[in-house]
Amino acid sequence: MGLIGTVAPVWLLVYAMPVWGVVAALAVSGGFTGLVNAPAIGFLTMRVPESLRAQVITALITANTVAAPIAYAVTGPIVRRFGLDGLYAIAAAGETAGATLFTLIALRHQAAQRQAEAAAG
């Protein structure tokens, strides 16, 4: 549900709306993002063998650090070519794809855990 609360408001930004609407959509999305990030990082961390966890967290932080300036660099040309609404549509589509993929992986993991528990007990 948190992923839906994070992604759905971003789709509203694709349509022209007053400033207060943009602020509200970003506030709702940002509020849910805070609720989603900690469990998501925990899920990603716990799926990795303990001996590799430090390297995985380091790689995750490095990827975020490297991706941020790249995102800043491509944002300008995207806005020039597609406008702000186009940028929001691309962002919403990317967030939707990422949330869908994460959800599918989490559900598959949960189903595998339930099967293992049923077989063991």
Which amino acid is present at 19?
Answer: V
Q: Is the pLDDT of residue 37 over 90?
A: no
Q: For residue range 65-110, what is the model confidence (pLDDT) as tens digits?
A: 999 999 999 999 999 999 989 999 999 999 999 999 988 988 898 8
Identify the pLDDT of residue 66: 96
Where are the domains positioned within the chain?
2-120
Identify the pLDDT of residue 74: 94
Instruction: Return the number of other C-beta atoms located less than 10 Å from residue 5's C-beta.
Output: 15
Identify the pLDDT of residue 45: 79
Q: For residue range 38-75, what is the model confidence (pLDDT) as tens digits?
A: 888 887 778 888 899 889 889 989 999 999 999 999 99
Cα separation, 88 vs 49, whole angstroms: 37
Q: Is the pLDDT of residue 26 over 90?
A: yes
